[in-house]
Protein backbone atom coordinates (compact mmCIF):
# COMPACT_ATOMS: atom_id res chain seq x y z
CA UNK A 1 0.00 0.00 0.00
CA UNK A 2 1.31 3.46 -0.87
CA UNK A 3 0.00 6.60 0.79
CA UNK A 4 -3.51 6.38 2.18
CA UNK A 5 -5.77 9.43 2.46
CA UNK A 6 -8.97 9.09 4.47
CA UNK A 7 -11.54 11.86 4.64
CA UNK A 8 -13.06 12.22 8.10
CA UNK A 9 -15.46 15.13 7.66
CA UNK A 10 -16.32 17.92 5.30
CA UNK A 11 -18.19 21.21 5.38
CA UNK A 12 -19.12 22.64 2.00
CA UNK A 13 -15.79 22.37 0.11
CA UNK A 14 -13.61 22.28 3.22
CA UNK A 15 -12.31 18.84 4.22
CA UNK A 16 -10.48 17.24 7.13
CA UNK A 17 -8.84 13.85 7.09
CA UNK A 18 -5.77 11.71 7.73
CA UNK A 19 -2.88 11.14 5.33
CA UNK A 20 -1.06 7.96 6.37
CA UNK A 21 2.64 7.60 5.45
CA UNK A 22 5.57 5.33 6.23
CA UNK A 23 6.62 7.69 9.04
CA UNK A 24 3.26 8.46 10.58
CA UNK A 25 -0.07 10.18 10.07
CA UNK A 26 -0.71 13.73 8.95
CA UNK A 27 -3.87 15.49 10.11
CA UNK A 28 -5.35 17.60 7.35
CA UNK A 29 -5.70 20.45 6.66
CA UNK A 30 -1.99 20.52 7.48
CA UNK A 31 0.69 23.18 7.51
CA UNK A 32 4.23 21.97 6.78
CA UNK A 33 7.06 24.04 8.29
CA UNK A 34 9.81 24.54 5.74
CA UNK A 35 13.07 22.70 6.49
CA UNK A 36 14.77 23.54 3.20
CA UNK A 37 18.30 22.35 3.97
CA UNK A 38 17.46 19.62 6.45
CA UNK A 39 16.49 21.94 9.30
CA UNK A 40 13.63 24.26 10.18
CA UNK A 41 15.65 27.43 10.74
CA UNK A 42 16.15 28.30 14.39
CA UNK A 43 14.45 25.20 15.83
CA UNK A 44 15.32 21.71 17.01
CA UNK A 45 13.26 18.99 15.30
CA UNK A 46 11.96 17.99 18.73
CA UNK A 47 10.77 21.57 19.24
CA UNK A 48 9.00 21.59 15.88
CA UNK A 49 7.12 18.46 16.97
CA UNK A 50 5.85 20.18 20.15
CA UNK A 51 4.12 22.85 18.04
CA UNK A 52 1.73 20.24 16.64
CA UNK A 53 3.53 19.82 13.33
CA UNK A 54 2.95 16.38 11.79
CA UNK A 55 5.06 16.84 8.65
CA UNK A 56 7.86 19.07 7.40
CA UNK A 57 9.18 20.01 3.96
CA UNK A 58 12.69 19.59 2.55
CA UNK A 59 14.06 20.64 -0.81
CA UNK A 60 15.73 18.70 -3.61
CA UNK A 61 17.59 21.68 -5.10
CA UNK A 62 19.32 22.74 -1.88
CA UNK A 63 20.06 19.24 -0.59
CA UNK A 64 21.46 18.05 -3.92
CA UNK A 65 23.97 20.93 -3.79
CA UNK A 66 24.83 20.59 -0.10
CA UNK A 67 25.49 18.06 1.36
CA UNK A 68 24.47 15.97 -1.68
CA UNK A 69 21.77 13.32 -1.91
CA UNK A 70 24.25 10.43 -1.76
CA UNK A 71 25.70 11.78 1.47
CA UNK A 72 22.25 12.17 2.99
CA UNK A 73 21.58 8.53 2.07
CA UNK A 74 24.86 7.45 3.71
CA UNK A 75 23.79 9.28 6.86
CA UNK A 76 20.60 7.22 6.96
CA UNK A 77 18.28 9.42 4.93
CA UNK A 78 16.81 12.78 5.83
CA UNK A 79 14.76 11.45 8.76
CA UNK A 80 17.74 9.95 10.54
CA UNK A 81 20.22 12.65 9.54
CA UNK A 82 18.14 15.48 11.02
CA UNK A 83 16.41 13.44 13.73
CA UNK A 84 12.90 14.04 12.44
CA UNK A 85 10.92 10.83 12.75
CA UNK A 86 7.71 12.13 11.21
CA UNK A 87 6.70 12.40 7.54
CA UNK A 88 8.71 14.52 5.10
CA UNK A 89 7.62 15.98 1.77
CA UNK A 90 10.31 17.20 -0.61
CA UNK A 91 9.86 19.81 -3.31
CA UNK A 92 11.25 18.70 -6.68
CA UNK A 93 13.59 21.67 -7.11
CA UNK A 94 11.71 23.17 -10.04
CA UNK A 95 10.78 26.40 -8.25
CA UNK A 96 14.29 27.00 -6.88
CA UNK A 97 15.85 26.50 -10.32
CA UNK A 98 13.55 29.28 -11.53
CA UNK A 99 14.00 31.64 -8.59
CA UNK A 100 17.63 31.16 -7.51
CA UNK A 101 19.70 30.23 -10.56
CA UNK A 102 21.27 33.18 -12.39
CA UNK A 103 21.58 31.15 -15.57
CA UNK A 104 19.24 28.34 -16.58
CA UNK A 105 18.45 26.62 -19.85
CA UNK A 106 15.23 24.67 -20.17
CA UNK A 107 15.00 21.84 -22.70
CA UNK A 108 12.86 18.78 -23.18
CA UNK A 109 15.46 16.83 -21.19
CA UNK A 110 15.32 19.06 -18.12
CA UNK A 111 16.97 22.19 -16.76
CA UNK A 112 20.66 23.05 -17.00
CA UNK A 113 21.47 25.62 -14.34
CA UNK A 114 24.27 27.32 -12.43
CA UNK A 115 24.43 26.82 -8.67
CA UNK A 116 23.62 29.99 -6.75
CA UNK A 117 26.39 28.98 -4.33
CA UNK A 118 29.47 28.64 -6.52
CA UNK A 119 28.28 28.91 -10.12
CA UNK A 120 28.90 25.22 -10.89
CA UNK A 121 26.73 23.69 -13.62
CA UNK A 122 24.12 21.05 -12.87
CA UNK A 123 21.40 19.27 -14.80
CA UNK A 124 18.08 18.47 -13.14
CA UNK A 125 15.66 16.18 -14.96
CA UNK A 126 12.44 14.41 -13.98
CA UNK A 127 14.47 11.22 -13.48
CA UNK A 128 17.28 12.78 -11.44
CA UNK A 129 14.88 14.82 -9.27
CA UNK A 130 12.88 11.67 -8.50
CA UNK A 131 16.05 9.71 -7.73
CA UNK A 132 17.37 12.42 -5.41
CA UNK A 133 14.09 12.41 -3.49
CA UNK A 134 14.34 8.62 -3.22
CA UNK A 135 17.83 8.95 -1.74
CA UNK A 136 16.55 11.56 0.70
CA UNK A 137 13.89 9.00 1.75
CA UNK A 138 11.01 11.44 1.22
CA UNK A 139 7.60 10.10 2.22
CA UNK A 140 6.06 12.36 -0.41
CA UNK A 141 7.98 12.94 -3.63
CA UNK A 142 6.97 15.76 -5.95
CA UNK A 143 6.95 15.37 -9.73
CA UNK A 144 9.45 17.62 -11.52
CA UNK A 145 7.78 20.60 -13.17
CA UNK A 146 8.37 24.06 -14.53
CA UNK A 147 6.91 26.68 -12.25
CA UNK A 148 5.23 29.03 -14.73
CA UNK A 149 6.19 32.65 -13.97
CA UNK A 150 3.56 35.35 -13.55
CA UNK A 151 2.42 37.11 -15.60
CA UNK A 152 2.30 34.74 -18.56
CA UNK A 153 0.24 34.88 -21.73
CA UNK A 154 -2.11 32.01 -22.51
CA UNK A 155 0.34 30.59 -25.05
CA UNK A 156 3.30 30.89 -22.68
CA UNK A 157 1.33 29.18 -19.91
CA UNK A 158 0.15 26.47 -22.31
CA UNK A 159 3.68 25.68 -23.49
CA UNK A 160 4.92 25.56 -19.90
CA UNK A 161 2.03 23.40 -18.71
CA UNK A 162 2.47 20.92 -21.54
CA UNK A 163 6.18 20.58 -20.77
CA UNK A 164 5.34 19.94 -17.11
CA UNK A 165 2.81 17.33 -18.21
CA UNK A 166 5.45 15.48 -20.24
CA UNK A 167 7.87 15.70 -17.34
CA UNK A 168 5.15 14.31 -15.05
CA UNK A 169 5.00 11.14 -17.15
CA UNK A 170 8.76 10.69 -16.80
CA UNK A 171 8.65 11.47 -13.07
CA UNK A 172 5.96 8.85 -12.61
CA UNK A 173 7.94 6.24 -14.52
CA UNK A 174 11.03 6.97 -12.40
CA UNK A 175 9.19 6.76 -9.08
CA UNK A 176 9.88 3.64 -7.01
CA UNK A 177 6.68 2.57 -5.28
CA UNK A 178 7.05 1.46 -1.65
CA UNK A 179 4.60 0.95 1.21
CA UNK A 180 3.81 4.25 2.89
CA UNK A 181 5.45 6.38 0.19
CA UNK A 182 3.85 8.33 -2.63
CA UNK A 183 4.28 10.90 -5.36
CA UNK A 184 2.23 14.01 -6.08
CA UNK A 185 1.64 15.47 -9.53
CA UNK A 186 1.57 19.25 -9.90
CA UNK A 187 -1.21 21.09 -11.72
CA UNK A 188 0.05 24.06 -13.73
CA UNK A 189 -1.65 26.50 -16.10
CA UNK A 190 -1.21 29.93 -14.50
CA UNK A 191 -4.53 31.79 -14.11
CA UNK A 192 -6.23 30.08 -17.07
CA UNK A 193 -9.07 27.71 -16.18
CA UNK A 194 -8.87 25.82 -19.47
CA UNK A 195 -5.18 25.08 -18.94
CA UNK A 196 -5.63 24.08 -15.30
CA UNK A 197 -8.34 21.64 -16.34
CA UNK A 198 -6.20 20.13 -19.09
CA UNK A 199 -3.24 19.78 -16.72
CA UNK A 200 -5.33 18.06 -14.05
CA UNK A 201 -6.83 15.67 -16.60
CA UNK A 202 -3.40 14.53 -17.78
CA UNK A 203 -2.13 14.07 -14.22
CA UNK A 204 -5.16 12.07 -13.12
CA UNK A 205 -4.45 9.60 -15.92
CA UNK A 206 -1.10 8.91 -14.24
CA UNK A 207 -2.83 8.03 -10.94
CA UNK A 208 -0.59 9.94 -8.56
CA UNK A 209 -1.04 9.36 -4.82
CA UNK A 210 -1.89 13.03 -4.38
CA UNK A 211 -2.06 16.27 -6.34
CA UNK A 212 -0.55 19.71 -5.87
CA UNK A 213 -1.52 23.06 -7.31
CA UNK A 214 1.62 24.93 -8.34
CA UNK A 215 2.34 28.24 -10.01
CA UNK A 216 0.43 30.34 -7.47
CA UNK A 217 1.79 32.73 -4.84
CA UNK A 218 4.24 33.91 -7.51
CA UNK A 219 3.04 37.50 -7.73
CA UNK A 220 -0.57 37.23 -8.87
CA UNK A 221 -2.03 38.44 -5.56
CA UNK A 222 -4.58 36.85 -3.25
CA UNK A 223 -7.65 37.77 -5.31
CA UNK A 224 -6.40 36.05 -8.46
CA UNK A 225 -5.08 33.09 -6.45
CA UNK A 226 -8.44 32.50 -4.80
CA UNK A 227 -10.18 32.85 -8.15
CA UNK A 228 -8.07 29.94 -9.47
CA UNK A 229 -8.86 27.97 -6.32
CA UNK A 230 -12.59 28.53 -6.88
CA UNK A 231 -12.39 25.91 -9.64
CA UNK A 232 -9.03 24.14 -9.66
CA UNK A 233 -9.52 21.79 -6.66
CA UNK A 234 -12.78 20.63 -8.26
CA UNK A 235 -10.77 19.14 -11.13
CA UNK A 236 -9.01 16.78 -8.70
CA UNK A 237 -10.14 13.45 -7.15
CA UNK A 238 -11.95 13.82 -3.83
CA UNK A 239 -10.25 10.73 -2.35
CA UNK A 240 -6.70 12.06 -2.66
CA UNK A 241 -4.88 14.87 -0.85
CA UNK A 242 -4.62 18.30 -2.44
CA UNK A 243 -1.58 20.47 -1.74
CA UNK A 244 -1.27 24.20 -2.47
CA UNK A 245 2.44 24.89 -2.85
CA UNK A 246 4.16 27.85 -1.19
CA UNK A 247 1.10 29.31 0.57
CA UNK A 248 0.94 31.31 2.72
CA UNK A 249 -0.41 33.94 5.04
CA UNK A 250 -3.12 32.90 7.53
CA UNK A 251 -5.86 34.52 5.44
CA UNK A 252 -4.57 32.69 2.33
CA UNK A 253 -4.76 29.36 4.15
CA UNK A 254 -8.27 29.96 5.45
CA UNK A 255 -9.49 30.95 1.98
CA UNK A 256 -7.81 27.94 0.37
CA UNK A 257 -9.16 25.43 2.91
CA UNK A 258 -12.64 26.77 2.26
CA UNK A 259 -12.08 25.91 -1.41
CA UNK A 260 -10.96 22.32 -0.80
CA UNK A 261 -7.19 22.42 -0.13
CA UNK A 262 -5.64 19.98 2.39
CA UNK A 263 -1.93 20.82 2.66
CA UNK A 264 0.24 23.94 2.76
CA UNK A 265 3.85 25.04 3.16
CA UNK A 266 5.41 28.47 3.41
CA UNK A 267 8.51 30.21 4.77
CA UNK A 268 6.44 33.09 6.16
CA UNK A 269 6.23 31.97 9.83
CA UNK A 270 9.96 31.19 10.09
CA UNK A 271 11.19 34.15 8.03
CA UNK A 272 8.88 36.54 9.85
CA UNK A 273 10.08 35.20 13.19
CA UNK A 274 13.72 35.85 12.28
CA UNK A 275 12.73 39.40 11.32
CA UNK A 276 10.89 40.15 14.55
CA UNK A 277 7.31 39.72 13.38
CA UNK A 278 4.87 37.58 15.34
CA UNK A 279 1.45 36.29 14.29
CA UNK A 280 -1.30 36.42 16.92
CA UNK A 281 -5.08 36.15 16.97
CA UNK A 282 -5.19 39.91 17.37
CA UNK A 283 -3.01 40.51 14.34
CA UNK A 284 0.72 40.79 13.68
CA UNK A 285 3.21 42.28 16.11
CA UNK A 286 6.51 43.90 15.15
CA UNK A 287 8.48 43.24 18.31
CA UNK A 288 11.15 45.75 17.22
CA UNK A 289 8.71 48.58 17.89
CA UNK A 290 9.95 50.73 20.79
CA UNK A 291 6.57 50.57 22.51
CA UNK A 292 7.37 46.99 23.56
CA UNK A 293 10.68 47.86 25.27
CA UNK A 294 9.14 47.99 28.77
CA UNK A 295 6.17 45.66 28.11
CA UNK A 296 5.96 42.87 30.71
CA UNK A 297 3.06 41.06 29.03
CA UNK A 298 3.49 37.91 26.92
CA UNK A 299 3.56 37.97 23.15
CA UNK A 300 0.11 36.35 23.12
CA UNK A 301 -2.06 35.44 26.10
CA UNK A 302 -2.91 31.73 26.20
CA UNK A 303 -0.26 30.65 23.68
CA UNK A 304 1.56 27.51 24.92
CA UNK A 305 4.93 28.24 23.26
CA UNK A 306 8.00 29.05 25.39
CA UNK A 307 8.21 32.58 24.02
CA UNK A 308 4.80 33.32 25.51
CA UNK A 309 4.87 31.19 28.67
CA UNK A 310 8.36 32.14 29.86
CA UNK A 311 9.26 35.55 28.47
CA UNK A 312 7.89 39.07 28.09
CA UNK A 313 7.53 41.28 25.06
CA UNK A 314 10.17 43.50 26.59
CA UNK A 315 12.72 40.70 26.71
CA UNK A 316 11.91 39.57 23.17
CA UNK A 317 12.22 43.18 22.01
CA UNK A 318 15.68 43.35 23.58
CA UNK A 319 16.83 40.05 22.03
CA UNK A 320 15.69 40.97 18.53
CA UNK A 321 17.04 44.53 18.68
CA UNK A 322 20.54 43.39 19.70
CA UNK A 323 20.53 40.50 17.24
CA UNK A 324 20.73 37.64 19.73
CA UNK A 325 19.91 34.32 18.04
CA UNK A 326 17.61 33.38 20.92
CA UNK A 327 15.24 36.13 19.82
CA UNK A 328 14.88 34.61 16.33
CA UNK A 329 14.48 31.14 17.84
CA UNK A 330 11.71 32.14 20.25
CA UNK A 331 9.84 34.24 17.68
CA UNK A 332 10.00 31.37 15.17
CA UNK A 333 8.79 28.89 17.80
CA UNK A 334 5.84 31.15 18.51
CA UNK A 335 4.91 31.61 14.85
CA UNK A 336 4.93 27.91 14.03
CA UNK A 337 2.89 27.27 17.19
CA UNK A 338 0.44 29.93 16.02
CA UNK A 339 0.15 28.37 12.55
CA UNK A 340 -0.44 24.89 13.97
CA UNK A 341 -3.03 26.29 16.38
CA UNK A 342 -4.75 27.89 13.39
CA UNK A 343 -4.81 24.53 11.59
CA UNK A 344 -6.25 22.85 14.68
CA UNK A 345 -9.03 25.46 14.87
CA UNK A 346 -9.75 24.99 11.16
CA UNK A 347 -9.98 21.20 11.54
CA UNK A 348 -12.30 21.57 14.52
CA UNK A 349 -14.59 23.95 12.63
CA UNK A 350 -14.85 21.48 9.77
CA UNK A 351 -15.66 18.63 12.15
CA UNK A 352 -18.40 20.78 13.70
CA UNK A 353 -19.74 21.78 10.29
CA UNK A 354 -19.20 25.48 10.98
CA UNK A 355 -18.23 28.32 8.68
CA UNK A 356 -14.93 29.97 9.61
CA UNK A 357 -15.78 33.06 11.65
CA UNK A 358 -12.18 34.14 12.12
CA UNK A 359 -9.74 35.74 9.68
CA UNK A 360 -6.47 34.76 11.39
What is the per-residue pLDDT for 195?
Answer: 98
Mean pLDDT of 327-334: 98
Give yes or no for residue 100 having a pLDDT over 90: no
Q: What CATH topology corresponds to 4-266?
A: TIM Barrel (3.20.20)
pLDDT above 80 (res 102): no
**Mean pLDDT of the 108-118 span:** 93
265 is catalytic: yes
Gyration radius from the chain CA atoms: 20
Query: Band of the pLDDT at 360, cuts 50, 70, 90?
Result: low
Given pLDDT bands bounded at 50, 70 and 90, which one contains residue 94? Answer: confident
Domain ranges of the chain: 4-266, 268-360
Exactly one of 137, 262, 265, 294 is catalytic; which is it? 265
Q: Tell me how many degrees the CA angle 77-118-84 measures, rounded to the nearest 5.
A: 20
- Beta carbons within 8 Å of 116's beta carbon, 6+ residues apart: 100, 101, 102
> Is 294 noted as a catalytic residue in this protein?
no
Catalytic residue (one of 54, 91, 137, 262): 91
The residue with greater pLDDT, 43 or 359, is 43
pLDDT, one tens digit per residue, over 309-328 is: 999 999 999 999 999 999 99
* Three-state DSSP string of the chain: CCCEEEEEEEECCEEEEEEEECCEEEEECEEEEECCCCCCCCCCHHHHHHCCCCCEEEEHHHHHHCCCHHHHHHCCHHHHHHCCCCCEEEECCHHHHHHHCCCEEECCCCEEEECCCCCCEEEECHHHHHHHHHHHCCCEEECCCCCCCCCCCHHHHHHHHHHHHHHHHHHHHHCCCCCCCEEEEEECCCCCHHHHHHHHHHHHHCCCCEEEECCCCCCCHHHHHHHHHCCHHHHCCCCCEEEECCCCCHHHHHHHHCCCCCEEEECHHHHHHHCCEEEECCEEEECCCHHHCCCCCCCCCCCCCHHHHHCCHHHHHHHHHHCCHHHHHHHHHHHHHHHHHHHHHHHHHHHHCCCCCCCC
pLDDT at 99 over 90: no
Express as a percent the part of the chain with pLDDT over 70. Answer: 99
pLDDT at 104 over 90: no
Amino acid sequence: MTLKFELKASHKKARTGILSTAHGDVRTPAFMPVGTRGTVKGMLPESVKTTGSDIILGNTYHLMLRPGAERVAKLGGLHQMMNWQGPILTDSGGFQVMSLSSLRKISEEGVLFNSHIDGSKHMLTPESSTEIQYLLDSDITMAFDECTPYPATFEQAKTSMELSSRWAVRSREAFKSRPGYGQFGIVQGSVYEELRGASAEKLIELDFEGYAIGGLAVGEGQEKMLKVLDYCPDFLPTHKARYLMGVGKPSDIIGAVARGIDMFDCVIPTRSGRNGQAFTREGTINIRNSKYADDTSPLEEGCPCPACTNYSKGYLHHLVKVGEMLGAMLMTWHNITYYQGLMERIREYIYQGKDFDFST
